[in-house]
Chain A
């Protein structure tokens, strides 16, 4: 039987396909009947959407140029 705490603790397990059979059924059943857990789930999905939209980290010019220099040198050796 899944109550709120168990549902919350297993959200990632469910998303990763680690819940099966009746465990998965009760997890989904509770989520469908509990407005608080649905709010929490919505917030989780929203936070992940925001995380995916984070801007790329800039490569410091020195790191990029050093990498390119190594690349050019490695291709010249061939």
Chain B
């Protein structure tokens, strides 16, 4: 659920009052999103966690400057991206999200469609029967495995939007991408997850 401006204001007040439990909860609830963004810039999990650690140091020192003009997580995300970019430049890595690679704009799974534009290999139907896939550990593992194999930019957008529930505006503001580019990355990542679930349901995974 997206925190409201009031939720943010309440949390920031508690943080400014020195409430450690609130800060600990914030660190824990933000970890996956922040590591996900950092990974797109720095390439290794260890480096991403270092960037996240630096980010928290910066966040607590700048807390009194948060004015609520953006959501708290956008503000924290922007601090992290600054840190991550600095680290990427230092490590001579390419800055992600500056533009889409040409292959990102191509059709997704074109081989599954006929030249006429209809399904040549239709999605395999899942077996009928009541089941809540989200509750099944194997299904979650299959989706998580696919998520880890996505290109970094797609993974970051899918994690922020679909796992962490960030809004499109928050993602675009933090990553510095256009709405259109964000949608392209999201679509490609989502369709990879769909295909992974299809293989899982067909017993291929």
Query: A residues bordering B, Cβ < 8 Å?
Result: 3-6, 8-9, 11-13, 16, 18, 36-37, 39-40, 42-44, 46-60, 63-64, 66-68, 70-75
Residue B205 is within 8 A (CB to CB) of chain A in the complex: no
Question: Which residue from chain B places its CB closest to the CB of A49 in the assembled complex?
Answer: B134
The answer to whether B57 and A56 touch across the interface, beta carbons within 8 angstroms, is no
Residue B107 is within 8 A (CB to CB) of chain A in the complex: yes
Question: Which residue from chain B places its CB closest to the CB of A44 in the assembled complex?
Answer: B194
- Name the A residues within 8 Å of B197 (CB-CB): 43, 46-47, 50
CA distance A4 to B126 in the complex (A): 19
Interface residues of A, dominant DSSP: helix
The answer to whether A42 and B126 touch across the interface, beta carbons within 8 angstroms, is yes
The answer to whether B117 and A6 touch across the interface, beta carbons within 8 angstroms, is yes
The answer to whether B140 and A53 touch across the interface, beta carbons within 8 angstroms, is yes
Question: B4-40 vs A: 1/0 string, CB under 8 Å?
Answer: 0000000000010010100110011101100100000
In the complex, what's the smallest C-beta–C-beta distance from B173 to chain A, in angstroms? 16
Query: B residues bordering A, Cβ < 8 Å?
Result: 15, 18, 20, 23-24, 27-29, 31-32, 35, 49, 52-53, 56-57, 60-61, 63, 107-110, 113, 116-119, 122-126, 133-135, 139-140, 142-144, 147, 158, 162-163, 165, 168, 179, 183, 186-187, 190-191, 193-194, 196-198, 201
Partner of A74, one of B27, B63, B187: B63
Question: Which residue from chain A places its CB closest to the CB of B106 in the assembled complex?
Answer: A9
Question: Which residue from chain B places its CB closest to the CB of A66 in the assembled complex?
Answer: B53
In the complex, what's the smallest C-beta–C-beta distance from B33 to chain A, in angstroms? 9
- Name the A residues within 8 Å of B32 (CB-CB): 56-57
* A67 and B57 in contact, given A16-B168, A56-B29 (Cβ under 8 angstroms): yes
In the complex, 17 of the A-B residue pairs with CB atoms within 8 angstroms, ordered by the A residue number, are A3-B116, A5-B110, A5-B113, A5-B118, A9-B107, A39-B126, A46-B126, A46-B197, A49-B133, A56-B28, A57-B35, A59-B27, A59-B31, A70-B60, A71-B15, A71-B18, A71-B56
Question: Which residue from chain A places its CB closest to the CB of B29 in the assembled complex?
Answer: A56
Using A47-B143, A50-B197 as known contacts, list a sample of 6 further A-B pairs with CB atoms less than 8 Å apart, ordered by residue number in A. Answer: A37-B119, A43-B201, A54-B144, A57-B31, A63-B56, A75-B60
Partner of A68, one of B23, B123, B168: B23
The 10 closest A-B pairs by CB, nearest first: A12-B187, A67-B56, A53-B134, A3-B117, A36-B122, A75-B18, A57-B32, A47-B197, A5-B113, A74-B60
In the complex, what's the smallest C-beta–C-beta distance from A34 to chain B, in angstroms? 8
